[in-house]
Amino acid sequence: MKAHKISDSVYCLHADIEAPDLFEGIWPIPQGVSLNSYIVKGEKIALIDLIRDWGGAPKQLADALKDTGISFDQVDYLILNHLEPDHTGWLREFRQKSPKAEIISTAKGINLVKSFYKITEGLRAVKDGETLDLGKGKVLTFREAPNIHWPETMVTWDGESGTLFPCDAFGSYGILGDRIFDDEYTEAEHAAFEKECLRYYANIVASFSAFVEKAVEKVAGLEIKCVAPSHGIVWRKNPKTIIGRYLKYAAYAKGPAEKEIAVIWGSMYGNTKQGVDAVVRGIAAEGVPYTIHRVPDENVSWVLMDVYKSAGLVIAMPTYEYAMFPPMANVLDIFRRKHITGKTVLRIGSWGWVGGAKKDYEAAIEPLKWTSLESLEWAGAPDEATLKGLEEKGRELARAVLAVR
């Protein structure tokens, strides 16, 4: 892997991870993910953000570093904006190769270096606004930006090149190959990346949306020429695009989101599915865009992505052992953990003899502050009148979503 020049003194070194395993052990990454590190050179040399030993990352990092003409033992400082192991898992190996490099992070970050890696020497905790002079006029400034996405996180600013190193903020899934900069991608490629960016946000960052807004406020006064995150594209042509995109995503958390409806359904024998089809006919008749997701067939990563950006939801499931259909209970639990609040929602479903999903569902969504339309349940297969009622419910939901402000 080669190094990519951001300015005369700043280089991006990235590792493309195409391993079949899941990101954070949960989220599928069919397009892979990149782990981006950066070299900043003054008289002294700083490496910003590291890697874990995953998918050949150490060799890719070593090759890219070699491409800059720098060896590991020449690195004076390792700056860790975020301690999550995808950026730090290789820390003990790094320490062996770069024994003199001082490890710099927030005080909370330094505590995590000690607890995760049992490294106790050569550590420096920095405070909000503190600077690091690399010489030759190159001064880095550290700004605490907690909870993007762990409590210890900070961003690093290089005023000379106008580069912001925000670690997980402004990141995305997707490997980069030989093209790391926004201006190296076509519009169609950007559209594909944008989907992976939203999925990354919904999966990883959504719960911390208020902190994203705070961090953007904090860097608002900076003349940012380049946003250099730890995953995904480096934004040198239009850095405002990715910052604006993150602010838009952060606003979804407060609701309302896009005037779209995400239909999430599960069914054992097709009775609930017939109801879903009727509701969807109603939504389509009102011209509101919708996406459809069957659980458990579809991985919750993509379900979360569309649910997060949609103002309206349909939750459709049968009763199962006097409670919710288990895959739907699991999805709703993930929605609760990810703070999927402020949605307008229709619940429908079939039952056999006495039902039971209702009570279970109502308890599950209680913390989510959803606006619920009156739900529609039926015994066994839906008859013509029920199907008509379901279609009308779809229209009602679509109109409610269009009316949302």
Ligand X SMILES: Cc1cc2nc3c(=O)[nH]c(=O)nc-3n(C[C@H](O)[C@H](O)[C@H](O)COP(=O)(O)O)c2cc1C
CB-nearest residue to ligand X? 352
Q: How far is the CB of 359 from ligand X (least distance, A)?
A: 11
Parallel, antiparallel, or unpaired for β 77-79 and 45-48? Answer: parallel
Q: How far is the CB of 321 from ligand X (least distance, A)?
A: 5
Across 295-327, b (16+ Cβ under 10 Å) vs e yields beeeebbbbbbbbbbbbbbbbbbbbbeebbbeb
Contacts of 277 by beta carbon, 8 Å cutoff, 6+ apart: none
List the structure tokens of 199: 């999925």
DSSP code per residue over 283-332? HHHTT--EEEEETTTS-HHHHHHHHHHEEEEEEE--EETTEE-HHHHHHH
Q: How far is the CB of 319 from ligand X (least distance, A)?
A: 4
**Which residue lies nearer to ligand X by CB, 162 or 275?**
275
Binding footprint of ligand X on the chain (CB under 6 A): 267-272, 318-322, 350-356, 380
**Which residue lies nearer to ligand X by CB, 354 or 385?**
354
Give yes or no for a contact between 367 and 336, defined as CB atoms under 8 angstroms apart: yes
Best CA proximity match to 339, nearest among 246, 220, 201, 226: 201
Contacts of 31 by beta carbon, 8 Å cutoff, 6+ apart: 173, 174, 175, 192, 196
Could you write out the three-class secondary structure of 180-245? CEHHHCCHHHHHHHHHHHHHHHHHHHHHHHHHHHHHHHHCCCCCCCEEEECCCCEECCCHHHHHHH
Q: How far is the CB of 233 from ligand X (least distance, A)?
A: 42
**Cα dihedral 46, 52, 56, 58 sign:** positive
Q: Which residue has the tokens 């009308």?
A: 392
Parallel, antiparallel, or unpaired for β 376-379 and 226-229? Answer: unpaired
**Which residue lies nearer to ligand X by CB, 161 or 319?**
319
Composition of the chain by helix, strand, coil, percent to 5: 40, 25, 35
Q: How far is the CB of 378 from ligand X (least distance, A)?
A: 8
CA diameter of the chain = 78
**Which residue lies nearer to ligand X by CB, 322 or 362?**
322
User: How many CA atoms lie within 13 Å of 105's alpha carbon, on the beta-carbon side?
Assistant: 27
Q: How far is the CB of 400 from ligand X (least distance, A)?
A: 25
Q: How far is the CB of 341 from ligand X (least distance, A)?
A: 28
Q: How far apart are CA 166 and CA 234, in angstroms?
A: 11
Q: How far is the CB of 197 from ligand X (least distance, A)?
A: 35
Q: How far is the CB of 361 from ligand X (least distance, A)?
A: 13
List the structure tokens of 326: 């288990």
Collapsing DSSP to helix, strand or coil, 88 comes out as helix
**Which residue lies nearer to ligand X by CB, 297 or 353?**
353
**Which residue lies nearer to ligand X by CB, 210 or 322?**
322
**Which residue lies nearer to ligand X by CB, 351 or 361?**
351
Q: How far is the CB of 318 from ligand X (least distance, A)?
A: 3
